[in-house]
Amino acid sequence: MSGPGPILEARGVRKSFGPVEVLHGADFTLTPGRVHALVGENGAGKSTLMKCLAGYQPVSGGEIRFFGEPVHFADSEAAESAGIVLIHQEFNLAEQLSAEANIFLGREMRRGFFLDRKAMRERARNLLEELATPIDTRLEVSRLSVSQKQMVEIAKALARNARVLIMDEPTAVLTGREAEVLFAQIERLKAAGVAILYTSHKLDEIARVADEVTVLRDGSLVAHAGVDEMSPDRMAELMVGRELSDLFPAKAGETAADVVLSVEDFEVPGHVESASFKLRRGEILGFAGLVGAGRTELMEGIMGLRSARGTIRRSGKVVRIASPKEAVRHGLAYLTEDRKGRGLLLKYGLRENLTLLGLDRFSGIFVDEKAEEAALDAAIRRFDIRAASKTMPVGNLSGGNQQKLLLAKTMLVEPEIVILDEPTRGIDIGTKQQIYAFVHQLAREGQAVIVISSEMSEVIGLCHRVIVMRSGRIAGEVSGEAVTEEAIVRRAMGLDGEAREAAHGS
């Protein structure tokens, strides 16, 4: 049956959330034995398109065709039974169950009334061996490495006879060597006639793995071509759709000389070793590195959110920060990368969220709700937060407005040092620009800002100086004119002479 024709197609697919349309009629075709890459910036609509294809979300317009016939998958389960499997970036595995139990979860093999453990173990072992992952299938998933977990996910998909595999940034959490294993498996899956949708922010990777590429920008399809016809540079241009200089305000000049924060020999057990750096007044300091390099952990250690050792000096004076409260007292504030899990109370309204961090500013014996309302009105104006109502649950705000609210919450304690962790993750380009402008304004007014970002363009466009971390250590620093993508990547990957050490896996 599976000839050369397409197996799964999106035709003019539109998707709206409430009044906001995030996907404006996208076409996308998956063919057996081919890898079709989907690229675009965060918020371009990639996830939405993937979710529509995999039955996680119904489309608002257009249609999904499976073997040429229009289909409506009731849910992801229905799509899975048809052989369409989405592998999430954060895995969907039951951590406490064994690898084999996970592979057959919900589709257990039985012998009469009982589970046929032997057959399942046999099959699981075969599947994982084919994937070059010879692990003991009885191991709890929580004890596997990230790449092994990913292989278990793929084995799970194969056990369901997947014909279409949708992979959401599969290499984001992998080391270079682990990624190589994955690429080899993708080749094998192709040969076996599986159709693969592949997304990644690493464009050189796309050039290697994919057969064809589709570029999305702001919810619209801007290009589709064979991978030979489109260089990674061209992809980047199409993704962004304008000169990067438009996006970032001109960098402010010299930063002041006085060091407001100095961190020496800082250690966060299991994540960061002997990190030292200085931050000056009026400076925007970037932290670059691969996911898992320990950037977030370092900042959380400094903020008293994780147990850590080391010396922190605030304007020269040694301070001890054992809790976030003390960090705030010393003029530090941290904006988490995990907006929904750690940043906002999704079921509560804007006011409660805005003032949660700085609540003691609004309360004597009682909380002064009038003052809170006034602060909210001011924040809405200052940060251009757009909400249908001030009492709506913030979980219903768009990602960009959530982020602006979170920023407002963080700034409400009037910090002198602001640590922004992935400040523009998953938000649209317009809001990004506003946030960049705001960061610049902060620096101009004399605050010091640390920006952790995995988006290279952001680090380069925004920061005066960039510290690169790798495997829990500071691997190098670049500043001024030397802040280039190549310089950062070389340090992040450990290609630089001084930073070349035995990579210790964790």
Q: How far is the CB of 150 from other proteins (least distance, A)?
A: 25
Q: For other proteins, what does the binding mask look like between residues 255 and 274, x meaning CB under 8 A? A: --------------------
One DSSP character per residue, 377-407 reads HHHHHHHT---S-TTS-GGGS-HHHHHHHHH
8 A C-beta contact, residue 7 and residue 30: yes
Q: What Cα–Cα distance (Å) separates residue 505 from each residue in 146, 293, 339?
A: 11, 11, 28
Q: In this chain, which of 111, 188, 325, 386 binds other proteins, going by CB under 8 A?
A: 325
H-helix or E-strand spanning residue 494: none
Q: Provide the token pair at 25.
A: 């009629």
User: Nearest to residue 7, comparing CAs of 25, 28, 38, 23?
Assistant: 28
Q: How many CB atoms lie within 10 A of CB 124?
A: 24
Residue 402 near other proteins by CB under 8 A: no
Q: How far is the CB of 418 from other proteins (least distance, A)?
A: 14
- Residue with the two structure tokens 């640590």: 419
H-helix or E-strand spanning residue 108: none
Q: How far is the CB of 341 from other proteins (least distance, A)?
A: 6
DSSP 93: -
- In this chain, which stretch among 24-32, 71-79, 338-346, 462-470 interacts with other proteins, using CB under 8 A? 338-346
- In this chain, which stretch among 58-66, 158-166, 319-327, 474-482 interacts with other proteins, using CB under 8 A? 319-327
User: Nearest to residue 475, comparing CAs of 497, 456, 494?
Assistant: 494
Q: In this chain, which of 73, 248, 334, 438 binds other proteins, going by CB under 8 A?
A: 334
Q: How far is the CB of 288 from other proteins (least distance, A)?
A: 23
Q: What Cα–Cα distance (Å) separates residue 433 from each residue in 343, 364, 402, 437, 444?
A: 21, 38, 15, 6, 17
Task: Report the residue number, 419 or 475, with the smaller CB distance to other proteins.
Answer: 419
Q: How far is the CB of 300 from other proteins (least distance, A)?
A: 9
Q: In this chain, which of 93, 196, 197, 305 binds other proteins, going by CB under 8 A?
A: 305
Residue 394 near other proteins by CB under 8 A: no
Instruction: State how far the Cα of 321 lies from the Cα of 326, in Å rounded to an integer.
Output: 6
The vertex-90 CA angle with 20 and 118, nearest 5°, equals: 130
Residue 422 near other proteins by CB under 8 A: no
Task: Report the residue number, 38 or 305, with the smaller CB distance to other proteins.
Answer: 305
Q: For other proteins, what does the binding mask look like between residues 356 and 385, x meaning CB under 8 A? A: xx-xx-xx-xxx------------------
Task: Report the residue number, 413 or 462, with the smaller CB distance to other proteins.
Answer: 413
Task: Report the residue number, 352 or 458, with the smaller CB distance to other proteins.
Answer: 352
Non-local (6+) Cβ contacts of 484 within 8 A are 460, 478
- In this chain, which stretch among 141-149, 232-240, 342-350, 493-501 interacts with other proteins, using CB under 8 A? 342-350
Q: In this chain, which of 79, 84, 166, 328 binds other proteins, going by CB under 8 A?
A: 328
Residue 489 near other proteins by CB under 8 A: no
Task: Report the residue number, 57 or 185, with the smaller CB distance to other proteins.
Answer: 57
Residue 399 near other proteins by CB under 8 A: no
Q: How far is the CB of 317 from other proteins (least distance, A)?
A: 21
H-type alpha helices, 16-71:
46-53
Residue 319 near other proteins by CB under 8 A: no
DSSP 105: T
Task: Report the residue number, 80 or 297, with the smaller CB distance to other proteins.
Answer: 297
- In this chain, which stretch among 96-104, 215-223, 230-238, 341-349 interacts with other proteins, using CB under 8 A? 341-349
User: Nearest to residue 74, comparing CAs of 92, 47, 56, 49?
Assistant: 56
- In this chain, which stretch among 164-172, 325-333, 479-487, 492-500 interacts with other proteins, using CB under 8 A? 325-333
Residue 346 near other proteins by CB under 8 A: yes
User: Nearest to residue 151, comparing CAs of 80, 105, 101, 99?
Assistant: 99
Residue 403 near other proteins by CB under 8 A: no
DSSP 270: T
8 A C-beta contact, residue 49 and residue 216: yes
Residue 171 near other proteins by CB under 8 A: no
8 A C-beta contact, residue 206 and residue 175: no
Q: Provide the token pair at 442.
A: 């902060």
Non-local (6+) Cβ contacts of 415 within 8 A are 328, 331, 332, 333, 447
Residue 68 near other proteins by CB under 8 A: no
Q: In this chain, which of 20, 192, 345, 374 binds other proteins, going by CB under 8 A?
A: 345
Task: Report the residue number, 336 or 453, with the smaller CB distance to other proteins.
Answer: 336
Task: Report the residue number, 232 or 324, with the smaller CB distance to other proteins.
Answer: 324
Q: How far is the CB of 360 from other proteins (least distance, A)?
A: 6
Q: What Cα–Cα distance (Å) separates residue 157 from each residue in 31, 194, 400?
A: 17, 11, 33
8 A C-beta contact, residue 391 and residue 417: no
Q: How far is the CB of 362 from other proteins (least distance, A)?
A: 8
DSSP 249: P
> By the criterion CB under 8 A, which residues form the site for other proteins?
305, 323-325, 327-328, 334, 336, 338, 341-348, 352, 356-357, 359-360, 362-363, 365-367, 409
